[in-house]
Structure 1
Amino acid sequence: MSKEGQAGGQSPRLLLVTGMSGAGKSTVLDTLEDMGWDCVDNLPVGLLKEFAKAEEGVARKPIAVGMDARSRGFDAEKLPEIVRSMAGFRPEILYLDCSGAELARRFDETRRRHPLAGDRPAEDGIARERGITAQLRTAADSILDTTDLTPAELREELRRRYGEDRDQPVITIASFGYSRGVSRTADLMFDMRFIANPHWVEELRPQTGLDPAVQDYCAEDPAWGQAMGHIEALLKDLIPRYWAAGKTYLTVAFGCTGGRHRSVAAAVEMAGRLREAGFPANIRHRDLASTPSDSVEDIRPDKGE
């Protein structure tokens, strides 16, 4: 995929927005439209080339087309080839994913029926759609998991990704807690549970890795500085390599047990290190707002392993 911008007569972008029903396709298309993109939803596959050709003759604006398993002529195996054969455009496929439990909750909350469920529970339709779109997910240029994103957070993520052309990947530094499941969006993942746990320090327990006292406590661990230095060096070496290989979005996740102390402090520090090195980095803390709990944290240091 070309990294050149549209300035100077470069081809406009053509983004296929697809994935799981209920994962946020309407929000994505509405946001892109607000950003100046030409957008259309549920276009029959047979009309895609005709639509793109007509748009090419009108303006050189970026185009976003929403398609999913409901679209007429939908074929998860052939669709990537069709999109990437579009002459005069820079094609890209964005697959919107979401956990099955969250999708079921969304359909229940909105009292909408899953389009592939028929008279069966939403879970059956979700499972069927996941199977139908599996090949398309594999072929996607980028996957955006919306499980833990509010609509506002999703819109902000889209503005970061598609607001302008870039000469390096969109980098997100994330934190998460292993006790609440591993990060679903990480390209690179680093486990920080070898660092002394601030949760077992009474005055630090209610605080988070955003607080200087917790950051200082983590930094006092002899392993912290060396580990962060090694990770920084690795990322500075890998980021340009990912970009050269066509990786447009890169998520680096730091994990600890609860997702409130060590992983958060590591994400904050690493984002700062990368910014100083000239790599703009966004930060996302998945489990920062979770309630502190002894039951999900490590074994107390005085109790041993």
Structure 2
Amino acid sequence: MRFVIVTGMSGAGKTTALKMLEDMGYFCVDNLPIPLLPRFVEMFSEPEEEVKKVALGIDVRGGQDFSGLKDVLEDMDAKKNEYEILFLDASDDVLIKRYKETRRQHPLSGSGRVDTGIAKEREKIMFLKMKATYILDTSKMLTRELKLELEKIFVKGQSFCNLYITVMSFGFKYGIPQDSDLVFDVRFLPNPYYIESLREKTGNDAEVQDYVMENEKTQVFLEKLKDMVDFLIPNYILEGKNQLVISIGCTGGKHRSVTLANALYRILEQKENYGVRIEHRDIGKDAITKRKE
């Protein structure tokens, strides 16, 4: 039997993940009282049991005694009961925003502030994150991207390193993305903006891509960038980092940065042991600015 405990921060997407696992053929139970967990595991471990894939959602709702959960997991380890822990996380800013959008109350905030509840929850469930088999940071994930990551792990059985990479293009005139881990400036490359036939196009258009990529400096830069990222990623994984934002900027975030971000994304998406997404933050802002003028 494959037994998965789905847990993590409230608002990080646990309920959504359980629904996705159910669609993948898992028998899913949400918010089972912790004292019932040993019997639950025993019941589904019977050799004649037909259910072979089980996902159990556990979180801080209902005031569950997480010190009791720690004891239960230690007992399961001693009995060599096999299980995996999927821990869903997100940054505090994103969690607060999600709670404000849904107008829901955090289960540990009471009548107080949401950020206070989030801080209490992080402290309560930190031991689960430390034991987690897989950690998914959903701060920047779309629903379909979460589904792809779960399919990689629980359907395709691909190796997984708890790292999710966002490759982002941006324009320096709109500011450097605050959540960037690595920032690269490609303003030294020839600017398609000054080619009239390319000005209104973007780095998603073949004509702009050809113009940028045919430059020898672009090829040298991309090769060196690939070498650097290939070196850094395994070391970030060893450090325990689970979210990496690589930002590539040009003046307006429309031509050169988009082209190079797309090129790096195509390189990284060939890897199977971590997730990667592409985001073009400022690709349409020039057009918006012109309309306002």
Same fold flag (TM > 0.5): yes
Describe how 1:91-106 pairs up with structure 2 within 5 A.
91-106=83-98
Q: Does residue 75 in structure 1 map to residue 72 in structure 2?
A: no
Deviation at residue 233 of structure 1 after TM alignment: 5.2
2:222 corresponds in structure 1 to 228
Q: 1:233 to 1:20 in 2, by over 3 A?
A: same
2:11 corresponds in structure 1 to 22
Q: Does residue 126 in structure 1 map to residue 118 in structure 2?
A: yes
Deviation at residue 109 of structure 1 after TM alignment: 2.8
Q: 1:197 to 1:237 in 2, by over 3 A?
A: closer
Seq. identity, % = 33
Deviation at residue 118 of structure 1 after TM alignment: 0.7
Alignment check: 8 A CA contact 2:203 2:209 kept:
yes
Counterpart among 188, 209, 212 of residue 206 in structure 2 = 212
Q: 1:118 to 1:279 in 2, by over 3 A?
A: closer
Q: Describe the SS at the equivalent of 2:35.
A: helix
1:180 corresponds in structure 2 to 177
Q: Does residue 192 in structure 1 map to residue 181 in structure 2?
A: no
Describe how 1:217-256 pairs up with structure 2 within 5 A.
217-220=211-214, 222-232=216-226, 253-256=245-248
Deviation per CA, 1:154-202: give whole Å up to 9, x if none: 333322332221367698663125823235xxxxx65332553677835
- Bigger-Rg structure (1/2): 2
> Aligned equivalents of 2:281 and 2:26: distance in 1?
34
Deviation at residue 69 of structure 1 after TM alignment: 2.2
1:5 corresponds in structure 2 to none
Code of the residue aligned with 1:98 in structure 2: it is: A
1:292 corresponds in structure 2 to 285
Q: 1:224 to 1:110 in 2, by over 3 A?
A: same
Structure 1: which 5+ runs fail to align?
A: 1-11, 184-188, 295-305
> Aligned equivalents of 1:37 and 1:68: distance in 2?
19
2:136 corresponds in structure 1 to 144
Counterpart among 20, 24, 48 of residue 31 in structure 1 = 20
* Structure whose residues are more often helix by fraction: 2
> Aligned equivalents of 1:51 and 1:198: distance in 2?
63
Alignment check: 8 A CA contact 2:135 2:242 kept:
no
What is the TM-score normalised by the length of structure 2?
0.71
1:201 corresponds in structure 2 to 193
Q: 1:121 to 1:54 in 2, by over 3 A?
A: same
Alignment check: 8 A CA contact 1:43 1:72 kept:
no
> Aligned equivalents of 1:293 and 1:228: distance in 2?
26
Q: 1:206 to 1:37 in 2, by over 3 A?
A: farther
2:32 corresponds in structure 1 to 43
Q: 1:127 to 1:167 in 2, by over 3 A?
A: closer
Alignment check: 8 A CA contact 2:8 2:125 kept:
yes
Deviation at residue 97 of structure 1 after TM alignment: 1.5
Q: Describe the SS at the equivalent of 2:98.
A: helix
Q: Describe the SS at the equivalent of 1:117.
A: coil
1:7 corresponds in structure 2 to none
Taking only aligned residues, the RMSD between alpha carbons, in angstroms, comes to 4.1
Alignment check: 8 A CA contact 1:43 1:66 kept:
yes
> Aligned equivalents of 1:228 and 1:83: distance in 2?
51
> Aligned equivalents of 1:133 and 1:261: distance in 2?
44
2:291 corresponds in structure 1 to none
Structure 2: which 5+ runs fail to align?
A: 288-293
> Aligned equivalents of 1:221 and 1:156: distance in 2?
35
Alignment check: 8 A CA contact 1:97 1:144 kept:
yes
What is the TM-score normalised by the length of structure 1?
0.68
Alignment check: 8 A CA contact 2:5 2:58 kept:
yes
How many residues align? The count is: 271
> Aligned equivalents of 1:149 and 1:264: distance in 2?
19
